Amino acid sequence: MPRFPTTDFRFIPKTCGAKTGRPLGRFTLLAIALLLVVTGCDDGQTTSNPLPDAGTDVLDTTGTPEDGTNPDVTLDGTLDGTLDGTLDGTLDGTLDDTLLADTNVADLVTDGTTADTANPPADVQPDIPVTGSPIGGPCNTDADCADADGQCLTAPEFPNGYCRAGENCTTSPDSCPSGTECTPFTNGNNWCLLLCNTTSDCRSGYICDSWSQCWPGCEPGGCPAGQVCSSSSECVPDPNQTGVVGGPCATDADCGTGGQCLTAANGFPGGLCRGHQGCTESPDNCAAGQQCTPFTDNTTWCMDTCNTAADCRTGYACDSSWNECWPGCTAGSCATGEVCNTTTNECETAPCTANSCPTGQICSNQRCVLDIGTPPTGTHPVCTNLPPINCTGTAAYCGEIVPFDPDLGTGYWDYPINGETTSNQYRSYVRRDLMLLIKYAAAKVDCLAVGWPGNGGAVALGDMSEADGAIPGTSVGSPGHPAGTHVNGYDMDIGYFQVNTANNQLRPICDHMIGNVDQYHCTSTPYLLDVWRSALFAASLHDAVVGNQLQLRVMGVDGQAGVLFESAIDQLCAAGWYTGNACNASYRSLAYEVTDTGRGWYQFHHHHMHVSINGLTSGTSPMLYDNKCLTPGCQLIDPAQDLRWTLYPSPEREKRALPDRL
């Protein structure tokens, strides 16, 4: 889901200034030295102490130490090559204190003593290296970035600035330097960004996000006094602090200049501050962690924003309609048929009872779901030999694009498809962590579902990515998926488990024609769908959690199948066949469209499921989130560019109708 610091956004987020700036040219040894002595690398901060000399001064013929301004030429009659005032004694362009150079030069007065050896006091900002900042490094302007096309993403959204480079880099193959990755932004540009394994790999003010890239953010406890780290990894005013928007209050005076207190007497527990009356919605001129909200009295106010109830004070819920902290429910405050969820502080439908659901629905897992029959019965096997679900290596190792190997394993079959051959499955390359997740879920179904109805065959795997991370078909001039999908091994097409078929190869599981026109989605009940195995497989994909985030970003299915999946997962949970994360419907990353809402699932999923994962994360992202679009940034897909209709013909040969013989 995109974040909004500026005007161009990565596929989950952004832009900034013009693209200028080149690294400093190379100078002779003496020229660099003199330049450093005279000018330094000024960050606008000076110190009262001199910079350290390179060591003990070289004495001249009179025994007087050098004065730090110009080297003596006595003793050997030539320049001795050692200048007081250099930063670390060697002309290597590296600052010895790892901070910006102070503007003072060393030892301006002959003091008769050797130079001090202590480091100069720390500057208030990180250094901008004299040779320019690399990708991910600090900057004030584009000229501070080392790369010729470097661009400085500036504060306050990017603490102390952030250099990006390589505009219009390629993602397949990745053309960025080692340690960086070509990243698509939603304005159509690509840029190289800095990779990471954990937040410790990133500068202060940055976290290792779900893309395994250093990006502005915070971790719990990492914000300045008076601020907290929100569930979206932003430092925002502490809602429990008096005098801030969203904070407690008794009178308007508690809310600061221009603020107003919505009091406890009016239903706001402990009072609630709102601020900046007359704010504008577009552009929104409220502070970080706030948004401009219109009220029914035709006023606008800055209100405290949230993603989950955890972002709000006790007694408040995150109102999902506005993503604002608002008084939560209490026992007895909800409408008839609703109860107060004490975790979210929101009213929700009361748990059903055996006879409380409408006709055609049943009560399962405390929810009314579609009546699709009862789940399989029998003894639940104990699955003790499942393959590992999580990748435990570095981000580079787990994100490496590898062939799905072996082709045939416990519960799965990666068969040749869409022009592949058994000796050249060029469309079957995937991130290592996604491969492990699929093998785990397939093996779990294979273990638990022994004896269930259906053909009992292995789940069949379809398109992934090409070896260089490109969309399958790119190498033969026919990419078969929308831009932004099936790149860099994050995505996989998988056949449904089926009934009344010989195997589970990717094929339509329903009628999909009206007259002679293909609708590319189910127009009937999916009568070939083995809903119980398919639902168990989908649920098992939710078992992998990295940090505090599901590894599964989304699993998309046809709209007619999706409602069946929901019911089946609930019933499998109620019957004890499955007990993992997917039993909580709020955590499910299942996506489908009964009508076309532009999220990418309405068409082309009548013959396969689509799985997409998140990258490794540092664990700061919330588990509850909504990014259930086909593309990571929810971009609309141009139908003219969507070639999915060319994929996955029925594996059985159609019978040709012969004309009647006269």
pLDDT of 128 = 54
pLDDT of 39 = 37
Beta-carbon contacts of residue 357 (< 8 Å; ≥ 6 apart) = 363, 368
pLDDT of 138 = 94
Unique residue bearing structure tokens 């889901």: 1
DSSP 161-205: -EEEB-TT--BTTB-SPTTEEEEEBTTS-EEEEEB-SSGGGS-TT
pLDDT of 430 = 97
Are 623 and 550 contacting, i.e. CB atoms less than 8 angstroms apart?
Answer: yes
> Per-residue pLDDT for 4 more than 80?
no
Are 46 and 102 contacting, i.e. CB atoms less than 8 angstroms apart?
Answer: yes
The three-state (H, E, C) secondary structure of 615-651, written as one string: CCCCCCCCCCCCCCCCCCCCCCCCHHHCCHHHCCCCC
Are 36 and 86 contacting, i.e. CB atoms less than 8 angstroms apart?
Answer: yes
Determine which helix (DSSP H) or strand (DSSP E) holds 552, and give its type and residue range.
strand 552-556
What band does 360 get if pLDDT is binned at 50, 70 and 90? confident
The pairing of beta strand 552-556 with beta strand 590-591? parallel
Higher pLDDT, residue 351 or 472: 472
Domain architecture of the chain: domains with CATH: 227-327 (no CATH), 395-646 (3.30.1380)
Higher pLDDT, residue 533 or 281: 533
Average pLDDT on 634-654 reads: 58
Distances in whole angstroms, Cα of residue 324 to Cα of each of 13, 56, 115, 229, 274: 21, 63, 59, 16, 11
Average pLDDT on 403-427 reads: 95
Amino acid at 83: L
What are 142-187's pLDDT values in tens digits? 999 999 999 999 877 788 899 999 988 887 677 899 899 888 776 6
pLDDT of 484 = 83
Average pLDDT on 31-55 reads: 38
> Per-residue pLDDT for 598 more than 50?
yes
What are 237-280's pLDDT values in tens digits? 776 776 788 989 999 988 888 899 999 998 898 999 998 888 98
Beta-carbon contacts of residue 427 (< 8 Å; ≥ 6 apart) = 417, 418, 419, 420, 463, 464, 465, 466, 472, 473
pLDDT of 459 = 98
Q: What angle do CA 366, 370, 375 make, to 5 degrees?
A: 75
Average pLDDT on 643-649 reads: 65
pLDDT of 643 = 62
Beta-carbon contacts of residue 78 (< 8 Å; ≥ 6 apart) = none
Cα–Cα nearest to 164, from 135, 132, 207, 190: 135
What band does 642 get if pLDDT is binned at 50, 70 and 90? low
pTM over 0.85: no
> Per-residue pLDDT for 630 more than 50?
yes
Higher pLDDT, residue 198 or 167: 167
What are 82-109's pLDDT values in tens digits? 333 334 444 344 444 444 444 444 444 4
Considering the chain, what is the average pLDDT of its residues? 76
Average pLDDT on 284-290 reads: 82
Average pLDDT on 453-472 reads: 94
> Per-residue pLDDT for 624 more than 80?
no
> Per-residue pLDDT for 51 more than 70?
no
Q: What are phi and psi of 101, to 5 degrees?
A: -65, 140
Sort 115 into a burial class: Cβ within 10 Å, 0-12 / 13-18 / 19+: buried
86-95, 233-242, 341-350, 629-638: lowest mean pLDDT where?
Answer: 86-95
Beta-carbon contacts of residue 456 (< 8 Å; ≥ 6 apart) = 449
Higher pLDDT, residue 433 or 346: 433
Structure tokens, 575: 């019957």
Q: Which of 83-87, 96-100, 112-116, 548-552 has the highest mean pLDDT?
A: 548-552
Q: Which of 139-143, 370-374, 545-549 has the highest mean pLDDT?
A: 139-143
